[in-house]
Amino acid sequence: MPKRRSIVACLSALLMLASVASAQKKAQPTTGGVKGKVRVDSSTTPEGVRVTLRRGEEVVAHAETDRKGEFEIAGVAPGAYSLRFQKAGLQTAELKPYEIRAGKVGSLGERVFLPVDEGSIAFLKGAVFTAEGRSVGGARVELLLFKPDGTLKKIDGRVSNESGEFSFRLLPQPARYRVTAKGDGVEAAKDVQIEGAMVYRVALSLKPTQ
């Protein structure tokens, strides 16, 4: 009888160990992810970059960067993937292969940088002149955006060069801007409508302020 009880006790212990091992195995993480921070050209913002995770041609997951340029994709099966980064007006970047490991959200840090795509940018170029038509160097030039409610928001500024010239780079989305120039007791302003990716030119003739 004692021998039988011993066998039963051994069997119970083995079953308990098998159950614990099975539970531990099930508790092990089976997915991973990736995160990072995307840097962009100073003429635009890092928010809204679309990050696409692909396995071959199949889109597995995607995310968009926040206002700091940060993103995270999680809950992805381990394996080799490619990461594509896209935003209008910027060059597309791709990382491959990128290995995702179970139980880990890998970090890209700040290794992704998207420069301006010159072929999809609107250039606003101009020059500042006196009322007599002479070039004005050193004039303070500001670029303001008309918001939907009709108010103006300053988005950039320049100082005209020795030839009175200045240049702004803009995303090609339709928008209305105002360009102003100021000197010592003189100023000028003109509105410009941007419709797409091309070069827009403006001449500002300074006049005495009232």
Same domain, residue pair 109 and 152: no
What is the domain-level CATH number for residue 141? 2.60.40.1120
* pLDDT tens string 14-23: 556 555 455 4
68: containing domain: 32-114
Global model pTM greater than 0.75: no
Sign (positive or negative) of CA dihedral 52, 57, 120, 159: positive
Same domain, residue pair 163 and 142: yes
Residue 178 within any structural domain of the chain: yes
- What 8-state DSSP symbol labels residue 163? T
**Contact predicate 74/33, CB 8 Å:** yes
**Contact predicate 44/87, CB 8 Å:** yes
**Contact predicate 90/57, CB 8 Å:** no
Same domain, residue pair 75 and 134: no
Same domain, residue pair 96 and 160: no
For the chain, what is the domain count? 2
Sign (positive or negative) of CA dihedral 57, 63, 66, 71: negative
Same domain, residue pair 195 and 134: yes
* pLDDT tens string 39-88: 998 768 899 999 999 999 999 999 999 999 999 999 999 999 999 999 98
